[in-house]
């Protein structure tokens, strides 16, 4: 199974992906997490991505598609939840080509929707555990012990791009380049739209219901 989570920065893609990997026995492939790990490890991929990410701009399609090619090989045979990919129509078309070569296809794209103002508040209070992708929020879902991950006790980090001016730019980039990706999957009859406002559990229930409706 190949399921896509679409939606603006801060809508809850990473949060909901953590539920879906359990519910669907899948693995999460967050392009943002892969890129941040590459930057932390000082790899060529990280060097190519850093300036774009710091500014809140998209990393070029060819860099992302090269990375996805390698990841799909590595994850062959597993159900995959894509989080934060594809982010342009060119990436969506590139993914279709890669999957077709494997005799596979995208099953569905869940588009989480939300107002921009809600996102700025959520992201300013976000903390993340880089090793696992687990996401916390100082206001809505704090860790049990301040500053550390619930499961591993390792330090949580505040992402470099979670500053108000960069968040606003990421939202502009989203509306300009990524929002049209929903139309790409709508045309294929694969789009499921889910309201991303409300509590984490509300949204989880809506996502589950949308996927169940498929039978």
Identify the DSSP state of 208.
Answer: H
**Strands, DSSP E only, in the chain?**
2-6, 27-30, 80-83, 108-113, 126-128, 135-137, 191-195
Please list every residue from 43 through 72 that binds ligand AP5, using CB under 6 A.
Answer: 52-53, 56-59, 64
Applying CB under 6 A, the site for ligand AP5 has a residue count of 37
Region of 38-46, 72-80, 81-89, 102-110 interacting with ligand AP5 (CB under 6 A):
81-89
Which span sits near Mg ion by CB under 5 A: 7-15, 50-58, 142-150, 206-214? 7-15
Give the number of other CB atoms < 10 A from CB of residue 57.
16
Q: Among residues 167 and 211, whose Cβ is nearest to ligand AP5?
A: 167
Question: Which residue from 31, 65, 72, 92 is in contact with ligand AP5, where contact means CB under 6 A?
Answer: 31
- Based on the shown chain and the rule CB under 5 A, indicate whether residue 56 belongs to the binding site for Mg ion: no
Instruction: Using CB positions, name the residue nearest to Mg ion.
Output: 14
Terminal Cα-to-Cα distance of the chain (whole angstroms):
14
Stretch that binds ligand AP5, among 11-19, 73-81, 96-104, 142-150 (CB under 6 A): 11-19
User: Catalytic amino acids?
Assistant: 13, 87, 126, 159, 170
Residues in contact with ligand AP5 by CB under 6 A are 7, 9-15, 30-32, 35, 52-53, 56-59, 64, 84-85, 87, 91, 122-123, 126, 135-137, 140-141, 161, 170, 198-200, 203
């Amino acid at each position: 199974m190949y399921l896509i989570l679409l939606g603006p920065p801060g809508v809850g893609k990473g949060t909901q992906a953590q539920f879906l990997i359990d519910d669907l026995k899948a693995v999460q492939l967050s392009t943002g997490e892969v890129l941040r790990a590459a930057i932390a490890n000082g790899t060529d991929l990280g060097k190519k991505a850093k300036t774009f990410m710091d500014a809140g701009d998209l990393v070029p399609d060819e860099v992302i598609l090269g990375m996805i090619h390698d990841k799909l090989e590595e994850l062959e045979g597993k159900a995959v939840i894509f989080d934060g990919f594809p982010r342009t129509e060119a990436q969506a078309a590139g993914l279709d080509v890669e999957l077709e070569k494997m005799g596979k296809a995208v099953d569905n794209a869940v588009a989480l929707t939300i107002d921009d103002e809600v996102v700025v508040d959520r992201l300013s209070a976000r903390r993340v555990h880089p090793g696992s992708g687990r996401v916390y929020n100082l206001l809505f879902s704090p860790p049990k012990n301040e500053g550390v991950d619930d499961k591993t006790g390792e330090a949580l980090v505040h992402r470099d791009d979670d500053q108000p001016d960069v968040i606003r730019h990421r939202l502009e980039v989203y509306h300009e380049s990524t929002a049209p990706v929903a139309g790409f999957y709508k045309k294929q009859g694969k789009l499921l739209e889910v309201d991303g406002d409300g509590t984490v559990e509300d949204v989880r229930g809506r996502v589950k219901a949308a996927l169940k409706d498929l039978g």
